[in-house]
């Protein structure tokens, strides 16, 4: 049933029936209005929500889906969330009579087996009708919630073998009926969550949807439903056309990428994600055949909707960024995901951790494949973190708190052709602003001791990956801590001859007799004063390191991105002078000779 449903949800949709003719300018004005509506909805949520993961970190996404279930605008939010909303909304559309859809209604969904991602990603949406009662579109808001009411806080259960362990599942739950809040339903949803801030978060999501729906109703009143429908059709058709034009520029062929996850949460090693990207004329097929399909794996199941989204998130980064994000992208790309593999699991598999891995390995494999056809735009949209260190405790009133570990860090920012890795968060997190140390310390009994980039923490290359950071944190009261460690055996891959990033590592109770390295998972009790240290892997390099400008290597050494030893061993750059007094200089003749020697050794080894 689940696979059949996935096929129905992913099936192409017909254009909206529209009697109006429309020109490019009018269509773009309405498209811009849609983008503004999404911005307003997401901003409303960010300002009104109670939890820092939403009101500070902005882990939310707004999108508009049309009456046929097509993504009409996916504008605001972290990239990997942009393409999920329409799948959950489509399931509601298929059952709108069953759930008595009408003007003013607002629904909640988070079901992994009915078009959703993992349970913490709540999708709140409301249908929008014209003055004659015709359904025109649906406004959606998606946000990550701190808890789901499952076995463990946050919904991340390391040993979960089914989705029921992870929390409460909502295929389609009506929160508001014809503009009136269903208090009994609202209270039930709030009661099934551990955190006091949740009521404010879900209320903010409802308010954001209602605010945006009113804006869409005003838009329909101004332009008329027929013109708006024609504009949606025009925008989607234009995006599809632009996508085909981009693909037609690429050389025909089959391009493969394979990435391994260190282990699942039970310790089973080397979980494989394999992608073949086939270009034929203006057609692109992304095929995940060959991806791991062992049924006894634990914690590495990514939902079908999430897998589609992560594929598209990476595909579009290899294209002109001005192409509008909408259903036209899916119309232009065939995505093949074998039933039963970890990217399209059987029903009721756990889903929480799959949004980390294999989701990120899917994007990485697509990037490795497409780096062979569009290297100038090959930037992996991922976070190789496994899961953050989640620290959990209780306050004096017995209320649970959780520091989810989504705080400042530098990690996973690979180089792209012509540009070194930069920034302090992965590209895939996009608009996600990782929370401040000061805010976390004001809310939780923790002390952030240090956060600093690690020298030689980025992969060497003609363009260098950004260094990863070492984050050191102390708990001031006894707490429990959870972690799933990956990317130690298989760190972020370099491209086109660039080196891999450094591996991840994680230590609990640092500096004590009980100091220990987390090998694959941890669910430990930490005493008061315990210190944890999480080394994040940096970005990978792009291009052969020996091709890097020696002066750029010198600047990297001065900035402490690269050590003196690595400047010579990795880049073949000979420096004179002293780092201590900043008198470093490149010995160009010696550098040229050393690089020639290193190239000869490499050729002999091949």
Annotate 113-146 with DSSP letters as a single string. GGT---TTEEEEEEEEE-TTS-EEEEEEEEEE-S
How far is it, in rounded angstroms, from Cα 270 to Cα 260?
A: 5
Within 8 A by CB and 6+ apart from 405, the residues are 387, 388, 389, 390, 391, 534
Q: Which residue has the tokens 């076995």?
A: 151
Reported as a single tens digit per residue, the pLDDT across 431-459 is 666 677 788 888 889 999 998 999 999 99
DSSP structural state of residue 493: P
283 by Cβ neighbours in 10 Å (0-12 / 13-18 / 19+) ranks as: middle
Tell me, what's the pLDDT at 534? Answer: 95
Q: Give me the chain's average pLDDT, please.
A: 93
% residues pLDDT > 90 (the chain): 81
493 by Cβ neighbours in 10 Å (0-12 / 13-18 / 19+) ranks as: buried
Evaluate the omega torsion of the peptide bond into residue 548 and state whether it is cis, within 30 degrees of 0.
no
Reported as a single tens digit per residue, the pLDDT across 310-353 is 999 999 999 999 999 999 999 999 999 999 999 999 999 999 99
CA dist list (Å): 194 to 49, 169, 476, 490, 526 = 16, 15, 22, 35, 21
CB of 404 within 8 A of CB of 434?
no
Q: Is the pLDDT of residue 1 over 60?
A: no
CA geometry: angle 206, 207, 209, nearest 5 deg? 65
Dihedral class, residue 543 (left if φ above 0, else alpha if ψ from -120 to 50, else beta): left
Q: Is the pLDDT of residue 271 over 90?
A: yes
How far is it, in rounded angstroms, from Cα 113 to Cα 110?
A: 9
Q: Is the pLDDT of residue 394 over 70?
A: yes
As a three-state string, the secondary structure of 330-388 is HHHEEEECCCCCCCCCCCCCCCCHHHCCCHHHHHHHHHHHHCCCCHHHCCCCCCCCCEE
How far is it, in rounded angstroms, from Cα 370 to Cα 277?
A: 7
Tell me, what's the pLDDT at 151? Answer: 92
Q: Which residue has the tokens 């282990």?
A: 263
Tell me, what's the pLDDT at 295? Answer: 95
- Determine phi and psi for 403, rounding to 5 degrees: -90, 110
Q: Is the pLDDT of residue 77 over 90?
A: no
Rg (CA), the chain: 25
The pLDDT confidence band at residue 396, using thresholds 50, 70 and 90, is confident
Q: Which residue has the tokens 């009143």?
A: 221
Tell me, what's the pLDDT at 81? Answer: 80
Segment among 355-359, 380-384, 423-427, 601-605 with least mean pLDDT: 423-427
- Determine phi and psi for 72, rounding to 5 degrees: -90, -30
- Kindly state the helix (H) or strand (E) to which residue 598 belongs, with its residue range: helix 588-605
C-alpha of 257 from chain center: 19
How far is it, in rounded angstroms, from Cα 540 to Cα 133?
A: 53
How far is it, in rounded angstroms, from Cα 470 to Cα 536?
A: 6
Tell me, what's the pLDDT at 403? Answer: 85
- In angstroms, the first-to-last Cα distance of the chain is 51
Reported as a single tens digit per residue, the pLDDT across 43-58 is 999 899 888 778 777 7
Quote the tokens at residue 533: 């240290």
Q: Is the pLDDT of residue 491 over 80?
A: yes
Q: Is the pLDDT of residue 408 over 80?
A: no
Tell me, what's the pLDDT at 160? Answer: 92
Tell me, what's the pLDDT at 556? Answer: 97
Q: How much is the average pLDDT of 128-142?
A: 97
Q: How much is the average pLDDT of 367-389?
A: 91
CB of 199 within 8 A of CB of 190?
yes
Q: How much is the average pLDDT of 214-234?
A: 98
Grouping H, G, I as helix, E, B as strand and the rest as coil, residue 505 is: strand
Q: Is the pLDDT of residue 473 over 80?
A: yes
Q: How much is the average pLDDT of 522-547?
A: 95
Tell me, what's the pLDDT at 431? Answer: 63
Tally of residues, the chain:
606
Dihedral class, residue 261 (left if φ above 0, else alpha if ψ from -120 to 50, else beta): beta
Beta bridge partners of 255: 277
């Amino acid at each position: 049933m689940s696979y059949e449903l996935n096929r129905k949800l992913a099936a192409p949709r017909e254009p909206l029936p529209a009697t109006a003719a429309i020109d490019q300018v009018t269509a773009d004005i309405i498209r811009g209005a849609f983008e503004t509506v999404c911005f307003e909805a997401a901003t409303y949520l960010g300002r009104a929500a109670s939890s820092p993961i939403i009101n500070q970190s902005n882990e939310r996404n707004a999108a508009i889906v049309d009456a046929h279930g097509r993504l009409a605008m996916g504008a605001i939010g972290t990239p990997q969330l942009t393409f999920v909303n329409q799948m959950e909304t489509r399931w509601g559309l298929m059952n709108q009579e069953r759930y008595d859809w009408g003007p003013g209604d607002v629904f909640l969904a988070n079901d992994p087996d009915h078009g959703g991602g993992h349970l913490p990603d709540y999708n709140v949406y409301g249908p929008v009708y014209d003055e004659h009662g015709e359904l025109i579109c649906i406004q959606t808001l998606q946000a990550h919630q701190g808890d789901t009411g499952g076995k463990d806080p946050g919904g991340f259960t390391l040993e979960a073998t089914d989705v029921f362990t992870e929390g409460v599942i909502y295929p389609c739950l009506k929160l508001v009926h014809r503009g009136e809040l269903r208090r009994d339903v609202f209270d039930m949803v709030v009661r099934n969550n551990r955190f006091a801030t949740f009521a404010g978060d879900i209320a903010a999501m409802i308010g954001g949807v209602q605010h945006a729906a009113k804006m869409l109703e005003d838009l329909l009143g101004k332009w008329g439903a027929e013109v708006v429908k024609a504009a949606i059709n025009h925008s989607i058709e234009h995006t599809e056309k632009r996508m085909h034009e981009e693909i037609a520029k690429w050389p025909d062929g089959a391009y493969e990428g394979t990435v391994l996850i260190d282990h699942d949460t039970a310790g089973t090693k080397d979980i494989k994600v394999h992608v073949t990207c086939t270009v034929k004329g203006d057609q692109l097929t992304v095929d995940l055949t060959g991806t791991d399909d062992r049924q006894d794996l634990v914690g590495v199941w990514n939902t079908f909707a999430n897998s589609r989204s992560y594929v598209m998130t990476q595909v579009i980064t290899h294209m002109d960024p001005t192409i509008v994000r909408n259903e036209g992208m899916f119309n232009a790309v065939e995505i093949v995901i074998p039933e039963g593999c970890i990217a399209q699991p059987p029903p009721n598999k756990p889903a929480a951790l799959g949004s980390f891995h294999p989701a990120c390995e899917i994007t990485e494999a697509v990037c490795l494949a497409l780096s062979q056809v569009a290297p100038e735009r090959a930037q992996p949209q991922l976070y190789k973190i496994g899961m953050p260190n989640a620290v959990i405790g209780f306050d004096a009133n017995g209320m649970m708190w959780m520091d989810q570990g989504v705080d400042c860090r530098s990690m996973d920012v690979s180089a792209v052709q012509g540009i070194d890795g930069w920034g302090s968060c992965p590209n895939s997190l996009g608009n996600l602003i990782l929370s401040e140390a000061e805010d976390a310390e004001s809310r939780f009994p923790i002390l952030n001791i240090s956060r600093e980039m690690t020298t030689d923490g980025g992969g060497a290359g003609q363009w260098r990956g950004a260094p990863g950071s070492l984050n050191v944190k102390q708990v001031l009261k006894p707490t429990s801590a959870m972690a799933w460690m990956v990317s130690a055996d298989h760190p972020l891959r370099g491209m086109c001859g660039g080196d891999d990033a450094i591996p991840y590592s994680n230590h609990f109770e640092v500096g004590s007799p009980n100091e220990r390295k987390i090998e694959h998972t941890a669910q430990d009790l930490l005493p008061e004063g315990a210190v944890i240290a999480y080394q994040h892997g940096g970005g990978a390099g792009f291009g052969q390191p020996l091709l890097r400008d020696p002066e750029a290597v010198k600047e990297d050494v001065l900035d402490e991105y690269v050590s003196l030893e690595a400047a010579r061993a990795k880049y073949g750059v000979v420096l004179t002078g002293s780092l201590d007094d900043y008198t470093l200089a490149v010995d160009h003749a010696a550098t040229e000779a050393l690089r020639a020697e290193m190239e000869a050794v490499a050729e002999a080894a091949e």
